[in-house]
Amino acid sequence: MSGGSSTLAGTGALFRFALRRDRLRLPVWIAVGTFMVVTQSVSSQALYGTPADLAAYRASVGSNAATIALAGPPVGLDTVAGAVAFEISATVMLIAALMAMLTVTRHTRADEEAGRTELLRSARVGRHAPLLAAVLLSSLACVVLALAIGAATTASGLPALGSFVLGASVGACGLVFTGITAVAAQATGYTRSVYGLVGGLFAVAFVLRAIGDIEGNWVVWTSAIGWAQATHPFTDDAVVPLMLCLVVAAALVVAGFALLDRRDLGSGLTQPRPGRRAARRALLSPLGLAVRLHRGALIAWTVGLGLLGVVYGALADSVETLIGENEQALAVFGDPDVDQLVDAYLGTTFAVTALLASSYAVSAVLRARAEESGDRAEVLLATATSRPAWLGSHVLVALWGSALAMAVAGVTTGLVRVAQTGEWAALGRMVGAAVSYIPAIWVVAGVAVALFGLLPRQAAAMAWTAVGLFLLITMFAESFDWPGWVSDLSPITWIPTLPLEEWTLAPLLGLAAVAAVLLAAGFTGFRRRDIALG
């Protein structure tokens, strides 16, 4: 893989370079995935400490179609270990798929789009080397994630064989999406299109798996997620489905190399349609252009959070049955009265939704950084467009877009609750609970803006690290009894758990002030620094 005129010349050097570029990003992904499994293991061992608790849990979720659709096949629910695999495997497989998608795209299509691949190809680097280096790096990350989950879950007290089978199923799912991304990076000429295509295929795989698991039929075998979950960790510990994952992943990678030979550098197999002769009036302003650039992602996130609100609302009626008689589970929600369980559950789901909306806000802010590093912002700023106007347009879309997505999630949850209870007042309560998180979301967006203005080259890595820390603190600080000051580091935890708790204005005003300071720091830093390419 080195030297000569081979199409793989330079692969080793590119692999080491990619490994160095991702020396912080990949460990964060692996640590988050592993930590979530271990946390689920520890929590489940505390929650389902007696056979009666397990029997109640099994009776509740074993025939609940909504839970099966979200989690997977209800297998092994007579053991705590089986319950752990049931509850967490789909979530960690999503993390593995996202890690694989972002890794392969970052080192293939994104580099090609930015012109870096063309520079590399002018040296002694073969045509296939960038793709092979990206696939090797993503595969290595999936293997390390699998081993880390296996080792850490075993250390948490679960059987070793099942722990490593669970880790292997997660890693195998990541390998399949490594192959899918390798193909998608050849099909389209834009990074965001790769993200959309792979994300859409993951959603299709998830839906097919859900249909197959609910109906108990062959449809589950049309989904890569279904193959990985068919290992049934801690119950059957089957490894044959993993072979199917490996074969399909290898076939997809081979297909990616074949498609690479059928397109030109910098383009995809599908060509974009010619644009209009003249731009529409709406595009002749920084805000109009920003809305056009963010339109697809904003629609996708808004629809996704709206559907998530439907799912959360649909599961609300099951909550009382699911954990109403489980004292440990009640403790997780702060020991509310049984009548308040649904409100406590909905409050927790809105916190999760707020974390997702924060992720959208950060990605929207970082789009400005992509425009800057891609040399497109400099062209615009050479015109009469001022720096505050240009950055403000992206920030405005991020702030109002995240607020819109959160409000839609509140509306969909509220409409489902209205259908369940027949009380229209539920709609207002759900919308109010959802939009109360907007100041906290804007603080997270403000962190990204401040990093963009002050530390542009480190902004993406540091902003996503902050999002990961906020997620860990919000989700697990109470379960692990972390000190109060640690919990206060996440702006999401400042918001009362609505609709269970009473609404108060003080934390919202405090968060709004913090967000304003962060935004001011970001705009000031951007106005004073040079444009940072690359």
pLDDT, tens only, 120-148: 888 888 999 999 999 999 999 999 999 99
Question: Is this model's pTM higher than 0.85 or not?
Answer: no
Among 48-62, 177-191, 333-347, the range of highest mean pLDDT: 177-191
CA nearest to 236, candidates 73, 43, 50? 73
Ranges 30-44, 146-160, 353-367: which has the least confidence: 30-44
- On the question of pLDDT at 247 being above 90, the answer is yes
Give the C-alpha separation, 68 to 80, whole Å: 17
The Cα-based distances of 431 to 424, 425, 457, 483 in angstroms read 12, 10, 38, 31
- Identify the residue with better confidence: 69 or 194: 194
CB 28 within 8 A of CB 464: yes
CA 171-298-374 angle, to 5 degrees, is 75
- 91: phi then psi, degrees, rounded to nearest 5: -65, -45
222 pLDDT higher than 50: yes
For residue range 358-388, what is the model confidence (pLDDT) as tens digits? 989 998 999 899 888 878 888 889 888 999 9
The confidence band for 336, taking pLDDT boundaries of 50, 70 and 90, is: low
What pLDDT does 3 receive? 44
Contact (CB, 8 A) for 33 and 91: no
The pair of three-digit structure tokens given for residue 157, joined into one six-digit string: 């007290």
Where do the structural domains in the chain lie, given as residue ranges? 11-262, 283-528
Residue 517 neighbours by CB under 8 Å, 6+ apart: 446
